[in-house]
Chains A and B, each alone.
Chain A
């Protein structure tokens, strides 16, 4: 089945450690995104990538890093510099056809807890 796969679903991290969240899509989408979700704050954009080997910061990029070496993969690293990393992380993707408004599809999310 086509879709967006995020792993792991649940992740616990000790303070001071970096962790990487995986996001893979087999929809042949061009653009991929990472959002962070906190209670009462909706979704906030961390990073996005519209083509391979290129990505841009979103609204809350500090303490995060990404790579886009393959079209289908967009991993997110939560570094020790992120002060409050405990959250629900959502990966998303869409086609980029030159006209905006394409539907953005979401993965099932990853829960990160810092202990």
Chain B
């Protein structure tokens, strides 16, 4: 069965500092990978996704993520965070076998300090 681990429950960074959120997955083949962001009390917005090809994926709001097969990881990065980036971030893995289901990690809450 597929699974996702986000080892950091809560991260605090200063505005303008760089950010890396960790995501490790378990899946029997090359997975589809996603990062979503959620503001308090809201739905989820897709930041970026990896299907195939270039392992460095660019997303919205200046985010990027790198797929590393050898480490089963899909870490999310941003070179300089803004106060508006404070939110909860979810990594998810999807099956390549047509059932379109996503398995989510438990999320990482990001706090930005001035």
Contacts and interface: CB of A to CB of B under 8 A. Distances in A.
Contact of A101 (B36, B45, B51, B107): B51
Contacts of B90: 42-43
**Which one of A4, A35, A50, A106 has the greatest number of beta carbons of chain B within 10 Å?**
A106
A100 B43 contact: no
Interface string A45-67: 10010100000001000000000
Interface in A93-115: 94, 96, 98-109, 111
B100 A102 contact: yes
Interface stretch (B14-22, B63-71, B79-87, B91-99): B91-99
Interface string B43-75: 111100101000000000000000000000000
Contacts, number: 68
Contacts of B102: 43, 45, 104
A90 interface: yes
A103 B35 CA distance: 11
Given A100-B94, A100-B96, A102-B100, A40 B46 contact: no
Contacts of A78: none
Contacts of B99: 50, 100
Interface residues of A, number: 31
**What is the size category of the interface that chain B forms with chain A?**
20 to 34
Contacts of B104: 35, 42-44
B64 to A, nearest CB: 17
B113 interface: no
**Which one of B43, B100, B101 has the greatest number of beta carbons of chain A within 10 Å?**
B100
A43 B32 CA distance: 17
Interface of B: 9, 32, 34, 36, 41-46, 49, 51, 90, 94-107
Given A44-B104, A100-B97, 11 more contacts: A4-B43, A41-B106, A42-B90, A42-B107, A50-B99, A90-B44, A103-B46, A103-B49, A104-B100, A106-B36, A109-B43
| 7 closest cross-chain pairs (CB), A and B | A106-B43, A101-B32, A42-B106, A43-B104, A106-B44, A42-B104, A108-B43
